[in-house]
Amino acid sequence: MGNADDINSSADNYNWDAAGRHRVAVPPPQPFVKSLKNTLKETFFPDDPLRQFKNQPPRKKFILGLQYVFPILEWGPRYTMPFFRADLIAGITIASLAIPQGISYAKLANLPPILGLYSSFVPALVYAVMGSSRDLAVGTVAVGSLLMASMLGNVVNVQENPKLYLHLAFTATFFTGLFEAALGIFRLGFIVDFLSHATIVGFMGGAATVVCLQQLKGILGLDHFTHATDVISVMRSIFSQTHLWRWESALLGCVFLFYLLSSRYFSKKSPRLFWISAMAPLTSVILGSILVYLTHAEKHGVQVIGHLKKGINPPSIMDLNFDSTYLPTAIKTGIVTGVISLAEGIAVGRSFAMFKNYHIDGNKEMIAFGMMNIVGSCTSCYLTTGPFSRSAVNFNAGCKTAVSNIVMALSVMITLLFLTPLFHYTPLVVLSAIIIAAMLGIIDYEAAIHLWHVDKFDFLVCLSAYIGVVFANIEIGLVMAIGLSILRVLLFVARPRTLVLGNIPDSKVYRSVDQYQNAHNVPGILILEIDAPIYFANTNYLRERISRWIDDEEDKLKTSGETAALQYVILDLTAVGNIDTSGISMLDEVKKIMDRRGLKLALANPGAEVMKKLNKSKFLETIGQEWIFLTVGEAVGACNYMLHSCNTKTTSDVSEKYSNNV
Amino acid sequence: MGNADDINSSADNYNWDAAGRHRVAVPPPQPFVKSLKNTLKETFFPDDPLRQFKNQPPRKKFILGLQYVFPILEWGPRYTMPFFRADLIAGITIASLAIPQGISYAKLANLPPILGLYSSFVPALVYAVMGSSRDLAVGTVAVGSLLMASMLGNVVNVQENPKLYLHLAFTATFFTGLFEAALGIFRLGFIVDFLSHATIVGFMGGAATVVCLQQLKGILGLDHFTHATDVISVMRSIFSQTHLWRWESALLGCVFLFYLLSSRYFSKKSPRLFWISAMAPLTSVILGSILVYLTHAEKHGVQVIGHLKKGINPPSIMDLNFDSTYLPTAIKTGIVTGVISLAEGIAVGRSFAMFKNYHIDGNKEMIAFGMMNIVGSCTSCYLTTGPFSRSAVNFNAGCKTAVSNIVMALSVMITLLFLTPLFHYTPLVVLSAIIIAAMLGIIDYEAAIHLWHVDKFDFLVCLSAYIGVVFANIEIGLVMAIGLSILRVLLFVARPRTLVLGNIPDSKVYRSVDQYQNAHNVPGILILEIDAPIYFANTNYLRERISRWIDDEEDKLKTSGETAALQYVILDLTAVGNIDTSGISMLDEVKKIMDRRGLKLALANPGAEVMKKLNKSKFLETIGQEWIFLTVGEAVGACNYMLHSCNTKTTSDVSEKYSNNV
């Protein structure tokens, strides 16, 4: 038979070779440019976003292109009055959540509270025009705010230089936007995929814990507090000033926290009552402000927001600070907060789209998020994304389109123009209670328990993210979790499983004897399945492991007193998706080892990529095309035939005879 | 049927379920500790090094243990006179190579030439006692020497502070030894596996190019030369001092280079003449020295070695410098040169062991290399490993055991004690010629061409290592190549191939329609094979891609005017080695998408790990055990049965009926 190139030449003889076996095809050669194009397409355009542009006239293409960038042009013309009624209610509902949350999170980021309101105005409008989710509600997030505070706090002391700090926050937001938009434009959105579910559960849980701990400052009415976020520093900071704890503040905080948590409890019990929980923060703020105003508690240790400037967002484009001293920090902060907020925003968009059965293009969403933050950074806003809690309220309130974001933005605008003085007496402790209540909902211990049950390694990733965030800092936790996740992928490839296969009774099917207790070995033949691509990282391992399987098998035969010696080793390559040059050298070596031990090597079901490379590297000639089989069953059949028809001769005679035969 | 736990309960009914199909087994549950132990064993002890210790009495265990650490105890007692005759010849041959090479490479490392001789003495003795290769010849290497010079040169100027530089070289060697021994002891040798063959070809080629370029200094007789290693700096340095070029030196260099290269050429033509090439460096040194002595060329621009101290290695343990200013550099240099020299040494040992059919334990070799460098660093030696060229000469000279290393060490000792004055007139240009001749043999352009033919990505890795080393510096080249290799593994997982399967005529076998041109689709059923583990990094991709396959299939059916609509999607999970919790969520979502589109999802041949997790996560209940099949063939059979027996009913009716049936 010889060369593999012969295979396609004899057309009338295509399916079967002379020995009556199926042939294993070498895939038809592809020009390099074409296969490169294919690879690039699968890497960067797996969802084929240009599908709808195919075979369209240029004018239509232009319109489709505009609609692609500005989805509002697509759904806008079909917008109806009943939709508007639904969006109006949803928009007002999320505005009632956005105002207190915005103020709270801005405090968390060490920024002026008014920025929280600014940030619910402009970015929401940008997203309404460019975003493709119908349920996402735009706003700031607690974790991102805290992350920004801790990263920027490393280089600027906010007490000493609040203006520089503010400008760096705008600059970091600008870079967040730039980074997000770039990921989307260059179709690199899959980078976000490297944040696994387990990482996010652990990281979010840890961040929420840290945020809650930070609120103890507000609840206990403390003036001085550590800048570190880890649990040990925070605890030390709190218990070193027990004499400064204010019971008035703590009492107020606990009462409002109880109110917020119980309202959520009732809402959870009956989804129709979601508005109780949605309205709770605003009612807390109103009640708290009235209470302070009436009792003048601000003079008895209850800190209040104080003066808020009237008027909508001032421009901040001139405040962006590209000074080389701070640039690296600004860029780093921008990228880290960008990744985290993208991960949340994209996941939220996808979940609701999945629920309502429409499609979201992740890369397109990233461009929308990016533009929202770029425009935001020029109009006195800081980091925004699509927070889960607010989007869930939006969804429950029955929103139909992104118009609910416009309604929210306008409500916030009215607040900014006319209602800011009303927040003068809002006690900070109420804001802390709002944050704690929101954060307690984020700590998803049930998901962690689920991870433990299903996948111990995922649980380890989750736990290390949590511990890293809580005991070290947010960045360390994130790096640990991502590092572990990637290590797992590398370990999967570096230490692939090799399985011994046996015959399932009454069939020609061969399956792992560990999984199928009824599968039984074929005497004289060892069948191994390799469960991963054969790459440089695992070639040494696989060579050792295959040798060890052979040793084990021979030992077993010896101790069991079988007369039939091991004669054939069949490698099932079904699960070997790819092979590199190191892998081919390894197969060469395995072949040599087998030859020396008087064993014959057969391969079953190599895939297209593997066949192509075996052919190009001439390994097909080394092993002989007649030792490559379409299925394990056929390989066993051929080996058995040789074993039984000529078992007086030596193995090499047999194979020679067989290959001459073929 | 319901729960998967039922499977193992009905023993008499094990192989087949009520519908006459094979059951897919959920593997029997394993206690967590046991599976953890298994995983750790496969990760760290894949070659089962303790196999021989099993079931042995304690005394025997102790002896085996000693022999494990000191292999000389194992082969020493069986050593015979004929072996010694062979080893004596081989040892003298490699000594004749070791002396000139040792001096040359020490110059390359900016160290006193005598260190090259020291380094062929003590480490060779240590390796002879602890090493398990019979063919490896110990010595210094050009690439490692250059790497050390460039890394230590970053912090210490060798001209200004030669003593500090020397001490740092010992310290770096000490850390190399510590690192190598630690890798071996903690069985982390697989870290070296992450240097793929392609990386090594590119890196070695690049390093050899750089080393050759550095020799232009010696050949042209220049005094001042750049410290940078990149090609641009070197060229600029050379052509900026054309007026200082010495023709006497250049002529001598070219003559000897010609002699060395032609001797290698003849040796290659006839392997029996290997000794011509093996002796050529020493004869060059002798001829060159005599020539200079007779013509007094050292006064006409030909630089000579000059005075070499008599006597064997002085102790250097007190010279190790752990000053915190230089410690990070010493550690970094130690680790980088350690990885590189391990990669070479282990590969050399393995290749010859493969050739002569004995086994080498990589981790054990690492301990031997580590001890050799630790002891070396305390006895005035610098970085040693098992260089390929010297080991090949050893092998060709017919060495039988590590005794040839002892012979070499003793020859070098005699040289150190009595013959060093003879090297006074050895011209440096001859050493440069020796280095260039050795390096030209390392640039393996044929391997690079082979990589291009077989695997384009491997070629890219190789090329980027080469370009990185030649145009930037050695470390950048190494980092680029390793980064690309790891990126490839990650991309394999992040962008797994999904293949459409079709039926191979006259069989129940289903294979990729791209690979097998004769495989044909089954009407109404789309069969997809997923070619990688389903991990967080690819879940989003796979969801999009599966949707796109369904879109494509439906488009195809529409345009071809088929009446039969797509009704079933079968996912073949044979090649899915593992799944994590993100992957299970993805399957959940795919199931929901299918439900919405009125399609039925079936899984074929999930492996043990996958079944275990599907079971634990309750996905088995979501999809229904009756939709999981042992083979694609059975899945297609069941779908076809439903399609044809009840094709007037809706799909959901059918499946309901079918599942009630089962």
ipTM confidence: 0.82
Residue type, B268: K
User: Do the chains contact at B504 and A22, CB–CB below 8 Å?
Assistant: yes
Candidates A446, A613, A630; CA nearest to A535 is A613
- Distance between CA A397 and CA B237 in Å, rounded? 73
- Pair A86, A403: CB distance under 8 Å: no
Does the structure show a pLDDT above 60 at A655? no
What CATH fold (topology level) applies to the domain A495-661? Transcription Regulator spoIIAA (3.30.750)
User: Do the chains contact at B504 and A537, CB–CB below 8 Å?
Assistant: no
User: Do the chains contact at B582 and A608, CB–CB below 8 Å?
Assistant: no
- Distance between CA A286 and CA A100 in Å, rounded? 10
Interface A–B counts its CB contacts (< 8 A) at: 245
Sort out which chain B residues have CB atoms less than 8 A from A605's CB and list them.
511
Nearest residue of A to residue B539, measured between CA atoms = A193
B63, containing H or E segment: helix B58-69
Lowest mean pLDDT among A74-83, A495-504, A643-652, B439-448: A643-652
Does the structure show a pLDDT above 50 at A243? yes
pLDDT of residue B6: 41
How many other C-beta atoms can be found within 10 angstroms of the C-beta atom of residue A28?
11
Contacting A residues, span 165-204, partner chain B, CB-CB under 8 Å? 190, 193-199
Whole-Å CA distances, A448 to A230, A345, A439, B176: 21, 21, 16, 42
At B189, give phi and psi (nearest 5°): -55, -25
Candidates A214, A507, A396; CA nearest to B22 is A507
3-state helix, strand and coil shares in percent for chain B, rounded to the nearest 5:
65, 5, 30
Surface-to-core class of residue B441, CB atoms within 10 Å of its CB (0-12 exposed, 13-18 middle, 19+ buried): middle
Give how far A79 is from chain B: nearest CA, Å: 25
- Pair B110, B225: CB distance under 8 Å: no
Q: What angle do CA B367, B371, B373 make, to 5 degrees?
A: 120
Q: In the sheet that A628-629 helps form, which strands lie side by side, from edge to edge?
A: A510-512, A498-503, A525-530, A568-572, A600-604, A628-629
Range B275-283, long-range pairs (CB < 8 A, 24+ positions): B275/B93, B275/B397, B277/B393, B278/B93, B278/B94, B278/B96, B278/B97, B278/B393, B278/B396, B278/B397, B279/B93, B279/B96, B280/B437, B281/B96, B281/B97, B281/B100, B281/B101, B281/B434, B281/B437, B282/B96, B282/B97, B282/B99, B282/B100
Query: Which has more pLDDT, B147 or A221?
Result: B147
Mutate to test the interface with B, among A493, A614, A631 (most CBs of B within 10 A): A493
Give how far A483 is from chain B: nearest CA, Å: 12
Q: How far apart are the first and last CA of chain B?
A: 7
Give how far B492 is from chain A: nearest CA, Å: 9
Surface-to-core class of residue A100, CB atoms within 10 Å of its CB (0-12 exposed, 13-18 middle, 19+ buried): buried
Q: In the sheet that B498-503 helps form, which strands lie side by side, from edge to edge?
A: B510-512, B498-503, B525-530, B568-572, B600-604, B628-629
Contacting A residues, span 331-350, partner chain B, CB-CB under 8 Å? none
User: Do the chains contact at A536 and B195, CB–CB below 8 Å?
Assistant: yes
- Distance between CA A121 and CA A129 in Å, rounded? 13
- Pair A605, A629: CB distance under 8 Å: yes
User: Do the chains contact at B190 and A631, CB–CB below 8 Å?
Assistant: no
Candidates A396, A312, A315; CA nearest to A356 is A396
Q: Which of B32, B492, B617 sits opposite A454 (nearest CB)?
A: B617
Candidates A190, A295, A257; CA nearest to A433 is A257
- Cβ of residue B502 closer than 8 Å to a chain A Cβ: no
Non-local (6+) Cβ contacts of B72 within 8 A are B128, B129, B130, B402
Sort out which chain A residues have CB atoms less than 8 A from B532's CB and list them.
533, 577
How many other C-beta atoms can be found within 10 angstroms of the C-beta atom of residue B37?
12
CATH 3.30.750.24 domain position(s) in chain B? 4-26+495-661
pLDDT of residue B653: 46
pLDDT of residue B19: 53
Residue type, A393: V
Whole-Å CA distances, B232 to A583, B157, B211, B463, B470: 36, 21, 14, 18, 9
pLDDT of residue A335: 93
Sort out which chain B residues have CB atoms less than 8 A from A489's CB and list them.
489-490, 493, 535, 537
- Distance between CA A131 and CA A371 in Å, rounded? 10
- Distance between CA B181 and CA B177 in Å, rounded? 6
Q: Which residues of chain B have pLDDT under 50?
A: 1-14, 18, 648-662
What percent of chain A lies above the pLDDT cut of 70? 94
- Cβ of residue A54 closer than 8 Å to a chain B Cβ: no
* Per-residue pLDDT band at A19 (split at 50, 70, 90): low
Does the structure show a pLDDT above 60 at A627? yes
Sort out which chain B residues have CB atoms less than 8 A from A528's CB and list them.
none
pLDDT of residue A557: 84
* Per-residue pLDDT band at A116 (split at 50, 70, 90): very high
- Pair B623, B591: CB distance under 8 Å: yes
Spell out the alpha helix ranges (H) of A49-196.
58-69, 72-75, 81-108, 114-118, 122-130, 142-153, 162-185, 190-193
Give the mean model confidence (pLDDT) for residues A191-195: 79
CATH 3.30.750.24 domain position(s) in chain A? 495-661
User: Do the chains contact at B362 and A540, CB–CB below 8 Å?
Assistant: yes
pLDDT of residue B337: 93
Does the structure show a pLDDT above 80 at A329? yes
pLDDT of residue A32: 81
A636, containing H or E segment: helix A632-645
User: Do the chains contact at B489 and A537, CB–CB below 8 Å?
Assistant: yes
- Cβ of residue A48 closer than 8 Å to a chain B Cβ: yes
- Distance between CA A429 and CA A217 in Å, rounded? 9
- Cβ of residue A574 closer than 8 Å to a chain B Cβ: yes
Q: Which of A494, A505, A607 sits opposite B190 (nearest CB)?
A: A494
Does the structure show a pLDDT above 60 at A176? yes
Give how far A235 is from chain B: nearest CA, Å: 34
How many other C-beta atoms can be found within 10 angstroms of the C-beta atom of residue A463?
21
Work out whether the CA dihedral A605, A607, A608, A609 comes out positive or negative. negative
Candidates A460, A443, A439, A464; CA nearest to A451 is A460
User: Do the chains contact at A454 and B585, CB–CB below 8 Å?
Assistant: no
Half-sphere exposure of A248 (CA within 13 A, CB side): 15
pLDDT in tens, A483-542: 888 888 888 888 888 999 999 888 888 999 888 888 888 888 999 999 889 988 898 889
- Distance between CA A535 and CA A577 in Å, rounded? 10
Strands (E), B216-282: none
Work out whether the CA dihedral B246, B248, B251, B254 comes out positive or negative. negative
pLDDT of residue A91: 93
Q: How far apart are the first and last CA of chain A?
A: 7
pLDDT of residue B126: 96
pLDDT of residue A528: 95
The mean of the pLDDT values for chain A is 86
Q: Name the 3-class secondary structure at A451.
A: helix
- Pair A520, A505: CB distance under 8 Å: yes
Determine how β-strand A498-503 pairs with β-strand A510-512.
antiparallel
pLDDT in tens, A557-587: 888 876 678 899 999 999 998 898 889 989 9
Give how far B305 is from chain A: nearest CA, Å: 42
How many other C-beta atoms can be found within 10 angstroms of the C-beta atom of residue B94?
31
Residue in the block written with tokens 């004018």: A59
Contacting B residues, span 422-481, partner chain A, CB-CB under 8 Å? 450-451, 453-458
Candidates B553, B621, B537, B632; CA nearest to B586 is B537
Q: For the structural domain made of B4-26+495-661, what CATH number should be given?
A: 3.30.750.24
Does the structure show a pLDDT above 60 at A3? no
Residue type, A382: Y
pLDDT of residue B652: 46
Interior/surface letters B254-285, b for 16+ CB within 10 angstroms, e for the rest: ebbbebbbebbeebeeeeeebbbbbbbbbbbb
At B297, give phi and psi (nearest 5°): -65, -20
Determine how β-strand B600-604 pairs with β-strand A525-530.
unpaired
Q: What does pTM read for this prediction? A: 0.81
> Length of chain B, please?
662
